[in-house]
Structure formats: C-alpha cells, structure tokens
Structure 1
Amino acid sequence: MFKVRRPGTRRMINLEVLDNTRVSPGFTRLTFGGPELKHLENSGHDQMVRLFFAREGQPELRMPTVSNDVWLAQLLLLPKTRRPWVRSFTVRRFRPEECELEIEVAMHGDTGPASAWAARAKPGDQAGIFDEGIAYLPPEHAAWQLLVGDESALPAILSILEHAPASLVAEVFLEVPESADIRENVIRPEGVRIHWIARDGARPVPGMLALEAVRNATLPSGPFYTWAAGEAKLPTGVRRHLVTDRGVPKSDIAFIGYWRHGRSSPG
C-alpha cells in the first residue's frame, strides 16, 4: 500500500466560497477563504483534503466536531437532514498569506453531489475541510518519475509539477474528458513531458485510455518513481502493469484510488 504523510497537527477548518470560475467544459475552480486557514499546514504537491458542503435544502453546514479519524463515524451517526456531503479533493493552490485556497472540481453534470454543488456554489456559501496529508513521496534513488491520472487527479499532478525542482525529469500521462480540457502552458520543469489524452465522446471507464497509453509507452531507462491516481482501476492497473510486465519494485509505486466508477463514496 502507498504511504501517506500526515501533517503534525490538523483540525476541522470552516471556510466560505469566495469565487467560482469555470476553467474549461470539464472543470470549475472554487476559491475558498477564511481566517481558520491559518491552521492548515502548507504541504504542497498532492495535498488531499476532505471537503464538507451542505446538501441541497440544508440551511447551514454542520461540520464534525472531532479532528481525528473518528470524524466519519460521527458524521454517519447524523440523520441525512443534518449530515453534510463530504468528498475528497486535492488542493490546487494554497495562498496562506491571503488565507485563500483553490480546489478544482471535475464536473459530471448532476450525476454526483460534488459536481452538482460546485455548479451552483456562490460567494458566501459555507464549506469546510480536513487535511489528509500527501502521498507523493519520491525516493532519492529515482532518476525520473512517471505521473499518471484521469481528470480527478489533474489538479494534484499540476500542483506536483508547479512545486517540482527544476531538475525533475518525468513522463506524465493525463486523461481528460474533452480536448477543450487540455491545459496550455502548464508550469513545469523543462525535463517534463506531458501526454494529453482526451476521451472526446468515447465512453470507456475514465482512466482506461491513460492506462492503455502507459502500457504501450516506451519509457526512459533507469530507476523511477510512479505516482498514479484517479478512478480505482487506473492506479491499480498501472501498478499491476509496472510490477508484472516491467519489473518495477512495488515500493517505488504510489497508487491512489480517488473514486470508483458507478459507486458513491460514504457520507
């Protein structure tokens, strides 16, 4: 299993929406703010948080009161009339000096509570986060890196590249819903090559085109570190391929299932 580095201290943090900007057909960027962000450790890279938001019709957001892993049990004891939605996201950007945080949401119409809420979120709406740490922990012996993700992992990969040292050499495979979701002028070191893959109306399980691209890729030589995330079949498929077909040590692969196609998360 992949390792996670948790922050030294963490707590439930109450926020409010400051801005909602549609980045592309498949993504919207939510900017949050609030004085409690002073309690959030700036981990960078693939910093994951639980995002809490009210269900439609709820007059206010009711956050868990415990700042440890018991929060989920406490949440599930609440009746749905008072229970908020909670979903996992990675931080796109964090500006501690301005007490602002950005999260990009992959939009799926009204098929999921997060994308439905993100579509209607407006300045002043309540939200909350709980820090879950980072899983991007490349070892020193890695000569280069392989980063693979679907649209749910795009914010994390872009954040990793923005925080990367200038010496980073990496092959990046990013699958997005449409060609219009491809980002131009990504901030990254010169040694990073991005392979964009757009489904453009094709209907495989998200991530399967990226997985196929990795299987067919001619990769650089030398020891490397892999970070793969997205719909569960993508990171597990990448790991299986690298270990079985390319002889990569399991310890050099971080694989994170952000979501499961056709299944909702608890809460």
Structure 2
Amino acid sequence: MNPTGLLEVTAVRRVTPRTVRVTFTGDGLDQLEPWPDQQLKLLFPPPGHPVRLPSAEADVMRWYQAYLEIPEDQRPVMRSYTVRSRDRDTIDVDFVLHAGPAGPATAWARRAAPGDVLGRYGPDPAYRRPLSTADTLLCAGDETAIPAVATILSEVDNAVVFLEVADAAEEQPLPGEVHWLHRDGAEHGRKLVEAVRGAALPDGSAAAWLAGEAATVRALRRHLVGDRGWDKSVIEFTGYWRRRLTQDDAPTPEDLADAAEKLGDSAGWTGN
C-alpha cells in the first residue's frame, strides 16, 4: 500500500464529551493490513491552502525531507495518531480535545465535517511491532492511549489495563480487565502512576505497554525498571504528547534520551 495519500472525512461523531471520532476514506485504505497499535501521520493544511503532499515516497526519511522542502506557508502541520478501527475502505481516528488553547489538530477536529480533506503518511508496516509473549501484559496510559489499547485488547486476553481519563464521562467500552482512573481535577498522570505503583500483577513473566503524556510515561517506566526490577527490553513506551509543548517544539533532553533508547531497543520486543 502506498503510505502517502489523501483522506476524506465521511462521518464525525462525539464518542465522549472530549473525544471526537472521525471516519476517513481514501485510496489504498482497502489494502491496509490491520495490526495492533497502528500509527499514522496526519497532515493538516494551513489556512487558505489545500493539502500539499511531499513528492518523495521511497522511505520515511526521504519522505520527511521532501515534507520539509515544502514552502513554510504551504507546509501542512503534521501530527501522529493511532487508527482506532477500520472497515474495508475506511478508518476511524479519535481526536482528544485537550483543555486550554486549541492546537491545529484540536481546532480542526472541533470543526471537522464530511468532505474535509487531510493528508496522511502511513500506516507503514516498517513500524509494526510484535505484541509481547509474556504471561501478563500491563497496559497503562491516558485518554490518548485508548485507541491503541483497544486494538491491543482485540488481540490478547492477558492484559491488565490502567487508563486515566478526565472523569467518568470519558470512559469507553473496552473488553478485559480495565481499571478506569478519573482525574476529577487532579494533576494529570498522578492517579495513573499511583495505581500502577500499587498494582499486584499475576505471577509469571510480565511486559508493559505505556503511552500518553511523556513525563507520566517516563515516571511509569522508571517505576517498573527501578522499583520492580523489570528489564528495559520488556517495556514498550511512547510519549504521545508533552505538557506545555507541541510536536513542533524542540525535543527536551529527556525526549532525546527516550528516543535514543527506543532506537536501541528497535531490534525487537518480546517480553519474555
């Protein structure tokens, strides 16, 4: 499947007060092979311009270089998302409407309507990662992790899940053992970290999948490695977003360290 193309909105609906689910159609989506935690880049056009796609498609590095060569006033804003579900030639993507000033993706999602067009890169099979074969898979994240967790739970029956959301209205139907944590005004990530620290996991081998706000993911990982003695190789982790920073802001030293470690672990993740 060509990893680059256009997506057209066919439906928009609120699945919770703070989550908008957008259904897209587009060339090549009917050829998309499903796999858990399937990520793609969405390209949001700048005001007054149509979506302009990079010309290079050979690999992600050359594609990204071609993206940077688009004149700045015409260059689309790029954000990473996870495919929530797919049905033949359509995919669903969930947009969390974060509080505070709206970034380009949130602003777009708030006004999205059928007929709107975005660009995409991916999903790319080169970034497919195998699920852990451990006896227990610990999944932990915030509302931005729900789409990926939903796809993981469709494939495994040994997951113990902790999800922190704003309040009870943000829960979504998910199978399996899911512990919902409501912030109800508390600091983002605090209840999630506390719950994982206090979790009694089943006996046997264990692995973890962590995603959400970057600092919270980092705290969870430090707990699993430092307090529980887990090997780093059994922990899959991704900081989806950063408080007070966007994907356009320069990476922090912690971000660079995380990226370097993920590259070092890219040879495989077995969770054995």
TM range (shorter): 0.7 to 0.9
- Where in structure 1 are there 5+ consecutive unaligned residues? 1-8
Alignment correspondent of 2:139:
147
Tell me the TM-score normalized by structure 2: 0.83
In structure 1, the residue matched to 2:84 is: 92
**Between 9-18 and 172-181, the greater mean CA deviation after superposition:** 9-18
Distance 2:65 2:189 in 1: 31
- 2-structure distance, mates of 1:59, 1:83: 9
Aligned-partner Cα distance in 1 for 2:2–2:193:
35
Q: Which residue of 2 aligns with 1:118?
A: 109
1:1-267 residue pairs with structure 2 within 5 A?
10-39=2-31, 41-55=32-46, 57-67=47-57, 68-69=59-60, 70-96=62-88, 99-108=89-98, 110-131=101-122, 132-133=124-125, 137-140=130-133, 142-161=134-153, 163-165=154-156, 168-184=157-173, 186=174, 188=175, 192-202=176-186, 204=187, 206-266=188-248
Of structures 1 and 2, the one with the larger relative CO (CA 8 A, separation 6+) is 1
Q: Deviations over 1:171-190 (max 9, x none)?
A: 10001122100124x2x2xx
Q: Distance in 1 between matches of 2:106 and 2:223?
A: 31
Conserved 8 A contact 2:14-2:20:
yes
Runs of 4+ in 1 over 3 A off after TM superposition: 132-136
Aligned-pair CA distance for 1:10: 4.6
User: Given that residues 29 and 105 in structure 1 are in contact (C-alpha distance below 8 angstroms), is that contact kept between their aligned partners in structure 2?
Assistant: yes
Query: How far did residue 111 of structure 1 move?
Result: 2.3
Q: CA deviation at 1:237?
A: 1.6
Q: 1:144 to 1:135 in 2, by over 3 A?
A: farther
- Kept in 2, the 8 Å contact 1:207–1:230? The answer is no
State the superposition RMSD in angstroms. Answer: 1.9
| 1:220 Cα offset (Å) | 1.8
Structure 2 unaligned spans of 5+: 250-272
SS at match of 1:241: helix
Q: In the aligned structure 2, how far is the partner of 1:107 from the partner of 1:32?
A: 18
Rounded Cα–Cα distance in structure 2 between residues aligned with 1:180 and 1:169: 26
* TM-score for the superposition, normalised by structure 1: 0.85
Identity across aligned pairs (percent)?
Answer: 38
8 A contact 2:44–2:104 mirrored in 1: no
Q: Deviations over 1:154-176 (max 9, x none)?
A: 11101211x224xx222100011
Aligned length: 244
